[in-house]
């Protein structure tokens, strides 16, 4: 815990950075009140306030904020939901938009000064998001086909000679019921974790090089230059991962609703 304090003072940066950096101590002496939790509340508040203000007084010719909100919703409705799921996808557009905006905002926290870490770099948050998607696509699969037919559609690919089912059905089972939620949460978590770790390595590495003195010290400029480049790269990753999460969610919903896949 003293490590975090020393990062802030930058007197003697801890080297190498470790997983401890991802677990700041509880605030005000309360263990469960962490920075991550406050950031999630902040994200929720920001999103609610933004959309409330944007749609408070809707006009036929939208203002700047309304235009932005409508573009975001339009993108996830037409660009993702309708594109991937088809006509039925419109009913999932509110969920997909919420998911997209929430993940994008919490990911972008990794780049905002003082916040500088995304809640999604704790695996609990992506797991929870993936769990909602998991329950949703299983629920819609069972609801639209019935349990037996849903299992038949997802586990027995059509137009396959029957002995192949011995080989293929266990693979499909693992894919649909284990691999999907697992990879969905792990992909988001690992991207945000690795992104924060890379920025830590190059930022603190710059200080470590500077403290080493002598001929190595000027290389710290190179290290900080990498930090700037990686920050730009992180912006791309943060938005891309939000998009990928939503895209895969809608792709899973599509395969639950489709007659065969």
Q: Which is nearer to other proteins, 175 or 230 (CB)?
A: 175
Q: Which is nearer to other proteins, 111 or 247 (CB)?
A: 247
Q: Which is nearer to other proteins, 202 or 252 (CB)?
A: 252
Minimum gap (Å) between residue 95 Cβ and other proteins:
17
Minimum gap (Å) between residue 132 Cβ and other proteins:
18
Phi and psi torsions of 214, nearest 5°: 70, -145
Plot region of 159 (φ>0 → left; ψ -120 to 50 → alpha; else → beta):
left
Tokens of 123: 């695996």
Minimum gap (Å) between residue 139 Cβ and other proteins:
20
What 236-240 contacts at long range (C-beta under 8 Å, 24+ apart), as own/partner pairs, is 237/107, 237/191, 237/195, 238/104, 238/107, 238/108, 238/110, 238/111, 238/118, 238/192, 238/195, 239/104, 239/107, 239/108
Q: Which is nearer to other proteins, 175 or 190 (CB)?
A: 175
Q: Which is nearer to other proteins, 72 or 187 (CB)?
A: 187
- Residue 85 in contact with residue 93, Cβ under 8 Å? no
Minimum gap (Å) between residue 163 Cβ and other proteins:
12
Residues lying near other proteins in the complex (CB under 8 A) are found at 79, 83-84, 86-87, 157, 159-160, 164, 167-168, 170-172, 174-175, 179-180, 183, 187, 243-244, 247-248, 251, 254-255, 258-259, 261
């Amino acid at each position: 815990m003293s490590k975090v304090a020393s990062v802030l003072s930058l007197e003697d940066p801890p080297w190498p950075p470790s997983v401890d950096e991802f677990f700041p101590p509880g605030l005000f002496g309360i263990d469960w009140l962490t920075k991550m939790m406050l950031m999630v509340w902040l994200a929720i508040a920001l999103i609610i306030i933004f959309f409330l203000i944007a749609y408070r007084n809707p006009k036929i010719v939208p203002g700047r904020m309304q235009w932005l909100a409508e573009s975001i919703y339009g993108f996830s409705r037409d660009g993702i939901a309708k594109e991937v799921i088809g006509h039925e996808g419109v009913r999932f557009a509110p969920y997909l938009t919420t998911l997209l905006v929430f993940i994008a905002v919490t990911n972008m926290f990794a780049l905002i000064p003082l916040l500088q870490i995304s809640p999604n770099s704790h695996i609990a948050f992506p797991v929870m998001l993936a769990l909602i998607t998991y329950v949703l696509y299983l629920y819609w699969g069972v609801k639209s086909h019935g349990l037996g037919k849903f299992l038949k559609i997802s586990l027995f690919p059509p137009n396959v000679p029957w002995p192949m089912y011995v080989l293929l059905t266990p693979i499909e089972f693992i894919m649909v019921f284990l691999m999907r939620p697992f990879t969905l949460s792990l992909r988001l978590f690992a991207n945000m974790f690795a992104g924060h770790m890379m920025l830590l390595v190059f930022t603190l590495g710059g200080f470590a090089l500077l403290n080493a003195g002598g001929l190595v010290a000027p290389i710290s400029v190179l290290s900080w230059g990498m930090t700037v480049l990686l920050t730009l790269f992180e912006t791309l990753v943060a938005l891309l991962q939000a998009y990928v999460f939503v895209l895969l969610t809608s792709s899973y919903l599509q395969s639950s609703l489709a007659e065969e896949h």
